[in-house]
Amino acid sequence: MKKTKILLAMLLALTLALSAGLMTAFADEPDPNIPFGTLSDPAQAAITKILQMPEGTNLPTANFLFNVASQSAPTGVASQDIPMPGTAGVVTISFDPSSLTNVTVNTAGGVTRYIKESASLFAGKSWPVPGEYVYTITEDDSASYTAGTNETVIYSGASYQLTVYVKQDSDSGTNYIFAIGMISITEDDGEPGDPALKKDPTPGSISLTNDYSQMIFTNSFMKVNGDSETDVKNLSIEKLTDGDFRDVTEYFNFTLTITLPPMAVAAGLGAASYEAVVLDDQDDNVTVELNGAADDADGFITVVPGTPLNFSLKHGERLVIPELPIGTTYAISEISPTNYIPTLTVLSGGTAVSGLPAGALSSTLTASGLIVADTAPTTNGANSALFTNLRNDINITGLNINDLPFIGMIALALAAGLFLLAAKARKAKKGYSC
Q: In this model, does residue 4 exceed pLDDT 70?
A: no
Q: Tell whether 349 is covered by a domain.
A: yes
Q: Tell whether 403 is covered by a domain.
A: no
Q: What percent of the chain has pLDDT over 70?
A: 81
What confidence category does residue 227 fall into, taking pLDDT thresholds of 50, 70 and 90?
confident
pLDDT of 207? 58
Residues 6+ apart with CB under 8 A from 195: 183, 184, 185
Q: In this model, does residue 401 exceed pLDDT 70?
A: no
pLDDT per residue as tens digits for the range 182-216: 999 999 999 999 988 888 999 986 556 667 899 99
Q: Whole-model pTM?
A: 0.81
**Do 357 and 383 fall into the same domain?**
yes
Q: Tell whether 98 is covered by a domain.
A: yes
**Do 114 and 201 fall into the same domain?**
yes
Lowest mean pLDDT among 21-25, 140-144, 363-367: 21-25
Q: End of a domain among 196, 223, 250?
A: 223
**Do 218 and 302 fall into the same domain?**
no
Q: In this model, does residue 114 exceed pLDDT 70?
A: yes
pLDDT of 428? 54
Mean pLDDT over 298-323 rounds to: 96
**Do 241 and 287 fall into the same domain?**
yes
pLDDT of 211? 78
Type of residue found at 373: A
**Do 268 and 329 fall into the same domain?**
yes
**Do 363 and 259 fall into the same domain?**
yes
pLDDT of 296? 83
Count of beta carbons in the 10 Å neighbourhood of residue 8:
10
In the sheet with 62-72, reading across from the earlier edge strand, the strands are: 90-95, 62-72, 131-139, 159-168, 175-186
Type of residue found at 49: K
**Do 202 and 239 fall into the same domain?**
no
Q: Tell whether 12 is covered by a domain.
A: no
Dist. CA 198–CA 181, nearest whole Å: 7
Q: Tell whether 15 is covered by a domain.
A: no
pLDDT of 268? 86
Please give the distance of CA 379 from its chain centroid, rounded to a whole number: 20
**Do 216 and 258 fall into the same domain?**
no
What confidence category does residue 263 fall into, taking pLDDT thresholds of 50, 70 and 90?
very high
If you compute the radius of gyration of the chain from its CA atoms, what whole number of angstroms results? 37
pLDDT of 197? 87
Q: Tell whether 211 is covered by a domain.
A: yes
Domain of residue 325 covers 235-395
Q: Tell whether 150 is covered by a domain.
A: yes
CA dihedral for 45, 46, 47, 51, sign (positive or negative): negative
**Do 259 and 164 fall into the same domain?**
no
Closest CA to 233 of 307, 133, 335, 323: 323
| Residue 381's CATH number | 2.60.40.1140
Q: End of a domain among 191, 223, 255?
A: 223
Count of beta carbons in the 10 Å neighbourhood of residue 258:
23
Mean pLDDT over 296-300 rounds to: 87
Please give the distance of CA 33 from its chain centroid, rounded to a whole number: 32
Q: Tell whether 378 is covered by a domain.
A: yes
Alpha carbon separation from 432 to 24, 272, 341, 425, 426 (Å, rounded): 137, 95, 62, 11, 10
Q: How many CA atoms lie within 13 A of 59 on its CB side?
A: 23
Type of residue found at 410: I
Dist. CA 42–CA 296, nearest whole Å: 74
The region, left, alpha or beta by phi > 0 then psi within -120 to 50, assigned to residue 162 is beta
pLDDT of 413? 59
Dist. CA 332–CA 369, nearest whole Å: 9
Q: How many CA atoms lie within 13 A of 29 on its CB side?
A: 8
Q: In this model, does residue 339 exceed pLDDT 60?
A: yes
Q: In this model, does residue 12 exceed pLDDT 50?
A: no
**Do 300 and 390 fall into the same domain?**
yes
Type of residue found at 359: G
- The mean of the pLDDT values for the chain is 87
| Residue 205's CATH number | 2.60.40
Lowest mean pLDDT among 227-236, 321-330, 339-348, 424-433: 424-433
Please give the distance of CA 54 from its chain centroid, rounded to a whole number: 3
Q: End of a domain among 223, 255, 284?
A: 223
> At residue 3, what are phi and psi to the nearest 5 degrees?
-65, -35
pLDDT of 195? 87
**Do 245 and 139 fall into the same domain?**
no
pLDDT per residue as tens digits for the range 48-106: 999 999 999 999 999 999 999 999 999 999 999 999 999 999 999 999 999 998 999 99
**Do 73 and 165 fall into the same domain?**
yes
Closest CA to 387 of 259, 240, 288, 266: 240
Q: Give the total number of structural domains in the chain.
A: 2
Dist. CA 100–CA 82, nearest whole Å: 34
**Size (the chain), residues:** 434
Q: In this model, does residue 21 exceed pLDDT 90?
A: no
pLDDT of 226? 83
Q: In this model, does residue 350 exceed pLDDT 60?
A: yes
